Amino acid sequence: MLGAGFILNTAMADNGAKPSVAVIEEKTITLNVPGMYCPTCPFTVRKSLEKLDGVKSVKTSSTTKTAIVTYDSSKLTIDDLIKATTDVGYLSTVKEEK
């Protein structure tokens, strides 16, 4: 069994190559999304992030005005996440950890 962050590719290549292991660079980030003020806002933000290939999970809250995103950093950048929220009308920034 492989640990977290690994995917075993069991498909054999046409040339008979052995299965390979791909490393997933999973990261979790908290975005401040100050424009989320109603019950529908977190749903809209969550859906915009979940559409991105590489996003593993999203938790949003209008109470804390945040989106906690777990994603594959080998496929996405923080700028991609921010663009996704901005594209649906919600500016976001990376939350500073204290």
* Per-residue pLDDT tens digits for 13-27: 556 665 555 667 899
| The CATH classification of domain 25-94, taken from the options 3.40.50.2300, 3.30.930.10, 3.40.47.10, 3.30.70.100 | 3.30.70.100
H-helix or E-strand containing 84?
Answer: helix 78-87
Taking the C-alpha atoms of residue 18 and residue 34, their distance in angstroms, rounded to an integer, is 49
pLDDT in tens, 51-72: 999 999 999 999 999 999 999 9
pTM above 0.85, yes or no: no
Domain coordinates of the chain in residue numbers?
Answer: 25-94
Please state, in angstroms and as integers, the Cα–Cα distance from residue 95 to each residue in 16, 34, 74, 84, following that order: 47, 11, 21, 16
What is the per-residue burial (b if ≥16 Cβ within 10 Å, else e) of 70-94? ebbeeebebebbbebbeeeebebee
Mean pLDDT, residues 14-42 taken together:
82
